[in-house]
């Protein structure tokens, strides 16, 4: 019996593949296998003999079966190892190409500005870009002869012969949206109006189209001191510099009174502009208390409501914040520029997640 065991254990160990192993199984523990035949002989034995041989044969059968399955697993492992070795790939090969899109800085910065002002209760208003000259000028207290009209380099729309209305203009600022919003909503109101504006000027630092954001807040008691607070809060949040200093300088705009130009603190070092430090000043926006005539043009009683308005360049603050040197490149759609200065599609600016990348 021990001979039988030794023989099969040896043969199993020597088996080279799965079919050899199967042959061995049949030969040993198959229906007509050597061990099975021996087990059949148990019936002919005396009860005493059977009591001895029965357990022995069962144990032998179990041992052979275990050896067979252990060997089978070992052979499978070898085969798998072999296959895996053959399946080697050059993982330094490039991955499958996937296009990566980008968001234009103007869109990104507009969303940043919107997020900040939304927190202060400002909604977003929009208006047409081909605008009546009444909305763009007269309603904003800029009559026909006003020097500001000539200074603004206005684009005029062509008028068909016989159409004697004053020509429409491409809006020279986002301010006409103030008028339209007042007409539609009345007061109190808090809005910002981002969008395209147009001026007939093209050189190193000017493009005939650019972007502005207008702000308007009207209520019974809004003051210029509130304007200063709102703008300082805005700049601190936008440029992410706590306690950024602003300077309000008296100025003049036809549509506000009093008016102020606003500078933010900056420094110039080795040609590098830094916002929020140093003792230089950089002019970033015009603002003031809405002129009573403008309120009237928007259908609002200037004795009941008062408030402020401001306007600043979106492209300009984008350039300042992200160090983009050339305004003209904003509108050139050079793929290299779009990729370099663009933002990821899921990079939505929020106040809780931060406004810059």
Looking only at residues 153 through 172 of this chain, which bind another protein when binding is defined by CB under 8 A? 155-160, 167-168, 170
Q: Which residues, 213 to 242, sit near another protein by CB under 8 A? A: 217, 221-226, 228-230, 232
CA distance 291 to 273: 35
Q: Are 146 and 254 in contact (CB under 8 A)?
A: yes
User: Minimum CB separation from another protein for residue 25, in Å?
Assistant: 39
87-111 burial: b if 16+ Cβ within 10 Å, else e: eeeeeeeeeeeeeeebbbbbbbbbb
Put residue 133 in one of left, alpha, beta given phi > 0 → left and psi -120 to 50 → alpha.
alpha
Q: Which residues, 68 to 107, sit near another protein by CB under 8 A? A: 93-94, 96-104, 106-107
One residue of 249, 268, 299, 354 binding another protein per CB under 8 A:
249
**Which of residues 40 and 339 has its CB atom nearest to another protein in the complex?**
339
Q: Which stretch binds another protein (CB under 8 A): 22-30, 40-48, 72-80, 115-123?
A: 115-123
The tokens for 294 are 């403008």
User: Minimum CB separation from another protein for residue 26, in Å?
Assistant: 41
User: Minimum CB separation from another protein for residue 84, in Å?
Assistant: 22
CA distance 34 to 155: 106
CA distance 307 to 171: 23
One residue of 252, 277, 304, 326 binding another protein per CB under 8 A:
252
Q: Which residues, 262 to 321, sit near another protein by CB under 8 A? A: 289, 291-293, 306
Distance of CA 346 to the CA centre of its chain: 3
Q: Which residues make Cβ contacts (< 8 Å) with residue 272, sequence separation at least 6? A: none
- SS3 of 281, please? strand
How many degrees, rounded to 5, is the angle at CA 101 between CA 99 and CA 103? Answer: 175
Q: Are 315 and 205 in contact (CB under 8 A)?
A: no
One residue of 122, 137, 238, 310 binding another protein per CB under 8 A:
122
One residue of 52, 184, 348, 350 binding another protein per CB under 8 A:
348
**Which of residues 8 and 253 has its CB atom nearest to another protein in the complex?**
253
User: Minimum CB separation from another protein for residue 313, in Å?
Assistant: 14
Token pair 């600043």 in the structure block, residue: 312
**Which of residues 58 and 223 has its CB atom nearest to another protein in the complex?**
223
- Using CB under 8 A as the criterion, what x/- string covers residues 25-54 for binding another protein? ------------------------------
| Residue 82, annotated as binding a ligand | no
**Which of residues 84 and 225 has its CB atom nearest to another protein in the complex?**
225
Indicate the Cα dihedral angle 277, 280, 284, 286, nearest 10°: 130
Q: Does 208 sit near another protein (CB under 8 A)?
A: yes
Binding positions = 257
Residues within the annotated binding site for Mg(2+)? 257
């Amino acid at each position: 019996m021990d001979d039988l065991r030794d023989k099969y254990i040896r043969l199993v160990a020597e088996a080279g593949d799965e079919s050899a192993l199967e042959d061995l199984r049949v030969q040993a523990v198959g229906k007509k296998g050597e061990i099975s035949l021996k087990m059949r002989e148990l019936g002919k034995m005396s009860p005493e003999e059977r009591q001895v041989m029965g357990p022995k044969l069962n144990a032998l059968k179990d041992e052979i079966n275990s050896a067979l399955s252990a060997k089978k697993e070992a052979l499978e492992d070898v085969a798998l190892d072999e296959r895996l070795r053959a399946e080697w790939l050059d993982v330094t090969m490039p991955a499958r190409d996937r296009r990566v899109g980008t968001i234009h800085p103007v869109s990104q910065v507009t969303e940043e500005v919107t997020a900040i002002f939304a927190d202060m209760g400002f909604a977003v208003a929009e208006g047409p870009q081909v605008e009546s000259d009444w909305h763009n000028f007269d309603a904003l207290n800029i009559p026909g002869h006003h020097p500001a009209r000539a200074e603004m380099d206005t684009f005029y729309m062509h008028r068909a012969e016989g159409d004697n209305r004053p020509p429409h203009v491409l809006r020279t600022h986002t301010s006409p949206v103030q008028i339209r919003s007042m007409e539609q909503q009345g007061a109190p109101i808090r809005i910002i109006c981002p969008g395209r504006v147009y001026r007939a000027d093209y050189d190193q630092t000017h493009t005939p189209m650019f972007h502005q954001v207008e702000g308007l807040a009207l209520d019974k008691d809004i003051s210029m001191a509130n304007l200063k607070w709102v703008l300082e809060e805005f700049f601190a949040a936008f440029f992410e510099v706590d306690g950024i200093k602003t300077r309000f300088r008296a100025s003049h705009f036809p549509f506000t009174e009093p008016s102020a130009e606003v500078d933010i603190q900056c420094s110039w070092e080795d040609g590098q502009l830094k916002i929020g430090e140093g003792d230089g000043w950089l002019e970033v926006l015009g603002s003031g208390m809405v002129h009573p005539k403008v309120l009237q043009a928007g259908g609002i009683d200037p004795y009941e409501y008062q408030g402020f308005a401001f306007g600043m360049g979106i492209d300009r603050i984008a350039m300042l914040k992200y160090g983009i040197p050339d305004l003209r490149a904003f509108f050139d759609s050079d793929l290299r520029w779009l990729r370099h200065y663009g933002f990821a599609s899921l990079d939505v600016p929020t106040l809780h997640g931060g406004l810059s990348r």
